[in-house]
Amino acid sequence: MSRAAALPATPPPPVREFGFEPQDHRAIATLVYDELGILLPEGKAQLVYGRLAPRVRACGLTSVGEYVKLIERDEAERGRALDALTTNHTSFFRENHHFDDFVERMWPGLVERLNSGGRVRLWSAACSSGEEPYTWLMAALGTDKAAAQRLLKRDFKLLATDVSPSVLETARAGRYPAATLRTVPAALRSAWVRGTGDALSVDPLLTEAISFLPLNLLGDWPIKTRFDTIFCRNVMIYFDDPTKARLQSRLADKLEVGGMLYIGHSERLAPEVARRFECVGRTAYLKVSA
């Protein structure tokens, strides 16, 4: 057999229900970058097609090119397209060392403040379907529900935001497949999870303690308060360096001096932002200057 004959054949292009041209991908990638800061290089073309094909079908169109023209003029459908193209991968107690660090480093002082009549403000800045903020409360409050109820009646607020309306619906409902909740430690699961069978619910005490609101991290923030701790994890991996730096600077501005910022395990602070923080753990940063 000749050397040329031994080379693998070029794989055929994927068979697609709808027309999808390179310029269609470029138009969508530009829209997503401009709106959300998310990078969608050419290598993501099949992912983009797979996520938009159901919307093309639902709109009765024959090509992604037609869909691109539709979302240029139809704001509601553009929102549905952006929702379909956002990645929402999360789990209960994901990167658990952050919750352990918060409970040890920050929570005792915040509890003392609450009990003294002060206020506490926390922000889960890319909450997805709610597993992160629910984990955060479970880890902080522990298994004593009576003590938890007393604390939550004080001046305590946990804001949880995401750009995706569909995942926020799941988060507000607080209802998850039983398999999803297996990563919750048994004692906390016994205290805070209700129901039997394949679908379980988070205790209403937790759902009522969290304000789930839509927010584009790259858009305007109608947020006047500063926070004692911010979780913004595993969202900046989709951004380019200038976008990351701008977002991190805005997060730092919204954090009290002495507050904590937690980011994803593969994320790092931009040098100009890192100067305002002290790294005190794995991707855990204490704000030390304004």
In the β-sheet with 175-177, what is the strand arrangement from edge to edge? 175-177, 199-202, 193-194
Reference 235, options 28, 39, 5; nearest CA is 39
Pairing mode, strands 255-263 and 227-232: parallel
Q: Residue 88 annotated as binding?
A: yes
Q: Residue 162 annotated as binding?
A: yes
What would the two tokens of residue 119 be? 């206020």
3-state secondary structure of 20: coil
Task: Give the per-residue SS3 of 163-217.
Answer: CCHHHHHHHHHCEEEHHHHHHCCHHHHHHHEECCCCEEEECHHHHCCEEEEECCC
Q: Residue 132 annotated as binding?
A: yes
DSSP 37: -
Q: Residue 105 annotated as binding?
A: no
C-alpha span between 231 and 104 (Å, rounded): 16
Q: Residue 115 annotated as binding?
A: no
Q: Residue 72 annotated as binding?
A: no
Q: Residue 256 annotated as binding?
A: no
For residue 156, the surrounding DSSP H or E stretch is: strand 156-162
Q: Residue 96 annotated as binding?
A: no
Q: Residue 216 annotated as binding?
A: yes
Residues classed as catalytic:
51, 162
Is the separation of the CB atoms in 242 and 273 below 8 Å? no
Binding residues: 88, 90, 94, 132, 162, 216-217, 233-234
Binding residues for S-adenosyl-L-methionine: 88, 90, 94, 132, 162, 216-217, 233-234
